[in-house]
Structures are given as structure tokens and as C-alpha cells.
Structure 1
């Protein structure tokens, strides 16, 4: 093997090694995708897929039950988004670089209706996700450098979605609002004869008493 070929081969191997060790180049192990629904507005997530900046698709990064608050003592005026949304129910999207797009298909059980939404994540949001900020953590009384690596999506009736980024000790920041579209073939990709998952008795009682507060999201 010639000296030139040896140098080129070593360079290629070093390049591959560098990609393997730091391909994503994030200041944390993984970012988090969480989902929630407004009070009593139950949803079932059929799939939440993520696409990172390298166009790698992470299918079913999250699915199933979204975080929700359904007090037994029915409270009126429960429409709108919370002032301080939490992280939501979800998972860390391991192996992914920063997100470029989030796709969610879900059943809005109070209507019932099935929606899908494509939520683009702009560059400014990605930059904010890797910007370290000094933050005071009240639960342990310490100052730390925190990151907004938690991406939280709220799912509301009418196909309305709202997205925030936040950190364990940093307040959430709203970054997107997208209104999804109805999935015409129905729930479960048309395999359930139009049958959605059942609504809980508590949410059903709330809807019967107060209705769905459309327009509050």
C-alpha cells in the first residue's frame, strides 16, 4: 500500500471514529419528548415521531397515554393551557440529534376525532435547546447550568397543538402553535371500524356538564 493511500485510509477511519463519538454533539445525553392534554380533554397518542436535523426518523418515539389532570370534583372553566406546563408523559429520544420535525397522530376522545399534526422545529428553537443557562433549582437549593432539552407538546380538541421547550430548573418557553388536520381514514389507520378508545367516566361527566371549551386553546 502506498504512503498516500495509507494516509487517506487513516484519515477516513479517524473521521468515522469522530462521527461515532460525537455525531450528535449535544451537551446532554438525549432530549426529551413529552405530551399532555388540557384538563379532562383526554387523548390517546397513536404515534409521535421525531425527525432530527440529519433527517433520521425516530418512529413511535412516544405513544399511548398523554399526561392529564382529571380532578374528581368537576371544576368549571378548565379550558385553556396551563400557565406552567410540565414535561408531559414521554421518553428521551436517544441517538437523535436536535429535532427538525415532530409528527403526532392522536385520538381526541372527548369529540371523538382523530387528528395528525406536523410541527416544525425552527433553528432558533434548536439553538435555545443547547444554550446553557444559569438556573436556581428550588428542590435542592443549588445553582446549576441547565438546558431546555425537554420538548413538550400539548394536544387539545379541534386538533390544536402547542409546543414548549424547558428544563428541570428553567421555565418553559412557547415555541410553536400548529392546528392539525382530521385523519379521514379514522383511528388506528382505519382498522377499528371508526371506533375510538373509550372516554373515562370523569371526563365524560365533565363534558356532559360543561361541554368542550373550543376556542380556549
Structure 2
């Protein structure tokens, strides 16, 4: 199996002639990240390529949204928007490159997430909120969850609507390790709440597994 560097993937994407860009009905869309309960993640980078072939490096990095209550298994019933940023000046996403440290293992993963055209259609449509009063808002939030074992799941939603799952896949292990081999391979320090949870519980890897998922190729 041949592995391509992300730079080559992006250059190949830029060389392709995509669909005619559509003017967005909003000024920006939100890119958020979360992790399962106690399963701390350090996001090294999330780089966005939009449908016009433009690349937005470092669209998000750092800590992700996490809870320290309940059981770690599964993704939960309510999908939050996650910790993230508004991606301003970009068209809708075509591809997102993600590299992160799974601190409970520890292990470093990387993945290229190809965003389906059906997802972009959803992001241009409105959804009814679950709040009272009911409002209709654009699904301009893209939430990505990162779990131990390299499992990745993503959803789109509006601020008040239920989330719609758009992809689930398994990432590759980053051969250079944390921070691309810098800092003598040291990982970000795992927090005390997670350490205590892991002292009493195993990591429930199978609870995040995607059916028939294969590793993404870089």
C-alpha cells in the first residue's frame, strides 16, 4: 500500500477542477472537536481544504471538548458542537486533515476526512431546532469526535437541532509520533481525572468502532 504525504494530497486536490463554488448563506461555518468522556485528546492540527481548492492550515488545534462524568463508552445521545472555531472566508469543506494525540494510550494518529457532497448539501439546508420556540437554522456546524484506537466520527448540525452523522472511519498511526518527532517523543500530560478513571476502568475501544471501517490512506 502506498502512502501519500498530506502536502501531495492537497496539491492533487487543488489541481482538480471542482464544482462551481456556491455563495454561502452565512459568513462562516463552525469546526468543532470533541472526545469521549475522560479520553483526553490534544489536537495537533486540523487543516481544511475547501471546494475551491484553498487550504486553511491550523484551522483548529489544542484542547477539545470533553466531559469528566458518567461512563466513557460510546459517543453519547447529545452531540455537542465541540470546542472549535469559526472557519471564516472558506467555502464549504472538501477535505479535512487531522493529526492528534490520544493521551490515554498514548498514541498519535492522522487522518484525511473526505467530506461527502451530501454533507455539503446538508450544510446549505436548514433544520428545525429542538428548543421552544422552534426555529429553523442552517446546519453550519461540523463536529468531529476523536477516540482511542484512532476512531473518528463526524456530524453536522445547526445550533439547536439534532446532529446528523456524516462519516465514521479509522485513522492511521502517525509514524513520526507526537509533534512530528519533536520534544523527544513526549506527549501532552494526561489530566488527573482521566488518570483516576483509567485506574478503575479499561479503555472501551470497541464502543467507538465503526462498522466495516478501513484505515484512511495519507
Q: TM-score w.r.t. structure 1 length?
A: 0.83
Counterpart contact for 2:153–2:169, Cα < 8 Å: yes
Q: Counterparts of 2:179 and 2:129 in 1: how far apart (Å)?
A: 44
Write the deviation string for residues 102-132 of structure 1: whole angstroms up to 9, x where unpaired.
1110000000000011111111110011012
Query: Any stretches of 5+ residues in structure 1 without a counterpart?
Result: 1-22
Counterpart contact for 1:24–1:96, Cα < 8 Å: no
**Which of 124, 130, 142 is 2:133 aligned to?**
142
Query: For residues 108 and 59 of structure 1, do their structure 2 counterparts lie closer, same or farther at Cα, with a shift above 3 Å needed?
Result: same
Q: Counterparts of 2:34 and 2:166 in 1: how far apart (Å)?
A: 16
3-state DSSP of counterpart to 2:185: coil
Aligned length: 188
2:11 paired residue number: none
**Which of 15, 25, 28 is 1:27 aligned to?**
25
Larger Rg: 1
**Which of 49, 66, 77 is 1:51 aligned to?**
49
1:18 paired residue number: none
1:205 paired residue number: 196
3-state DSSP of counterpart to 2:135: strand
Q: What is the CA-CA distance between 1:24 and the residue it aligns to?
A: 5.3
Query: Any stretches of 5+ residues in structure 2 without a counterpart?
Result: 1-20, 209-218
